[in-house]
Structure 1
Amino acid sequence: MRAVVFTDFQTFPSLTEVERPVPGPGEVLLKVAGSGACHSDVAIYEDFAEGTPGAIAPGFTLGHEVSGWIEETGPGVHGFTKGEAFLAYGPIGCGHCKACSRGQDTYCENVASMPYLGIGLGRDGGMAEYVLVPARNLVPLGDADPVDAAPLSDAGLTPYHAIKNALPNLAGGGRFALVIGLGGLGQVAVQILTALTGATVIATDMKDDAMRRAEANGAVTVPGGENQVAAIRELTGGRGVDAAFDFVGATPTIKTAQASMAQGGRLTVVGIANGVTEWSFFTTPYESTISNTYWGTIADLHEVVAMYRAGQIRPEVERYSMDDALEAYRKLESGQLSGRAVVVPHV
């Protein structure tokens, strides 16, 4: 079968013929319906050098946003029928620590001893015709479109978990939420905030077309630039926002979010651009917090799928055949994508 393989550090991936995998105990073989291309994939093969923090050793098949149909089950796996559609929860922890027991494999306490971080993260992923997934990591899609659902396993789950943690800040009337960065995750975040809260959602980006899409989903937009913070605070009557979500994570965007906060507000840095910032007692709004988050839980993903099936969230998807999978990554690198690139191997 064909797969997009990460072959070496700081090397563009290759479209390669590999053997079709066979499910082992507790595993299911999925016939891939869709596999989302994510900026995290680009970081794996482009940004990290061997031995640096965060580097994952090659080679393996990319793709951690995966949906598919049951093709085959391994020993000890029951309750699945060939052809049923599922979304794959990407993180894979040890399975027995406290974090994994609550379905939060992203915070596995034994991560240092694990051979990989997850599907497409050290273990062969779904940017292929078939992929192996632990049966525990499958979330049923029912009759929902599995191709458009593929990005939900990251671009839906990550903002959902961040927003869910911040819901106490947004409960009640007259609340404001700020979304910085309107790529794949930021656009879904606007939809989730609109569906789950009564807050006024303020969204900001440097791209006009991204802001227009956010407006279509209920956001009030503020363009980036010199007067960005003043415009955000003006929309809140000068008080600031109750919850901010930075989907970039660069130093300037973190500082913009900090400067926009209300007293008692919560800033969640979701983007992993390695930004840094400063804290000062006299310039930080009282009892405000800065947090970060990484992916979410399996239970969260079930809730994300429920929202998708109810029509409350809908990722913007650009479909690519396997022949064009590398082109999808080239467009992702150059910022030419307006939606989430999803590779559809079986077309």
Structure 2
Amino acid sequence: MGSTTILSQDTLPVRWDYSDLYVSYPAEARDHQLEGTVVVWVRVDERGNVKSWRIVNSMSDPLDSAVISGIRSLRFKPRAINGRAVANGEAYVRFSFGGHYGGHGLDQYEHAVVNYNALLDMPEHTIGVLYYTERFYGRGRVRFIHGDIERARTDYDIARKRGCELPWYGKVQHDLVDPLLPHDTTSRDSLMKYAQLLSEYQLPLEALDMLLRIMAKYGEQQDVILELAKCYGFVQDWQKKWDMYRWCIQHGDTTTSVRLAASWAAYLARDDRSAVELCEELADKYPDDQNIQGNYGLALLTLERYAEATAIYQRIEDMEGDPSYYMLSDLKRHIGIGFPGKDKAREILRDVFKIPVLYIP
């Protein structure tokens, strides 16, 4: 059976099978009063069975396991569209879990259920969505909400404002993105907002195209460059990401862009001499910033300059920082890509800083 991506003119409403709802929520999530929202990209077959999923955005790692457990046991039931059954499809689903104290301790939880019915308005390809949200508190349904979401062809700010008011509504990826291309294409601000929306909805290639068009028309400006850096990271073009941060350093740096630049400079230290020089320059300029000092230490480790790296991490320790925190995080980040200094870094942690082997990756 082939698959199809659900677009604005072919929307998959989400319906729930409640049979396993209560047993699927992990006890540890209730015990720790976990609350938050996780956005998941879900693939289902024509019978509504979940075939695969991936976490798109999460407020808490422990919530991920709760969501995955829920996806395994819950079932999506796509309805027919225009008289035909929906084939395999993908849709954003927003899970909301919360723990609340009941009369006898923490024995209840809350689950938000969202149902969508698509109202198609061809040929404009706009879409209105009727929604309702059922809130479950323990085993009892306590609230029923219904209403309309504004039509997708609206001003960006209106759509965003409405979205913030509805924290549980799921999104089909293109429903709120594609129709939001600003009518006023001469306004830099409206184009920039649209590019940020594309990036937020995990459409980095489209965002890059929009940002490059903005830069070609309005020139190089720091907010565009920083957004470009983020999108280049999404598509794993590390060199261009680094180039964007380096531009920010050269044109009026901020603490945030400096730290980001230092991080990526360390990442590219083996292949880019200017990256190492920038790490050293920033370390001299910000001697009390443990984050920047740690990235300089990482660059030195990457170049196998172990004595200098050790001195940097000892300086962090003298600042009442935790050298192992930076080295451990750097090790974890680089072990997977064959970081040449990882064995020596382990040795430094063990012999110089007396970090127990148990905590060294």
Scaled by the length of structure 1, the TM-score of the pair is 0.29
Structure with bigger gyration radius: 2
Structure holding more strand per residue = 1
**Which structure carries more relative contact order (alpha carbon 8 Å, separation 6+)?**
1
Structure holding more helix per residue = 2
Scaled by the length of structure 2, the TM-score of the pair is 0.28
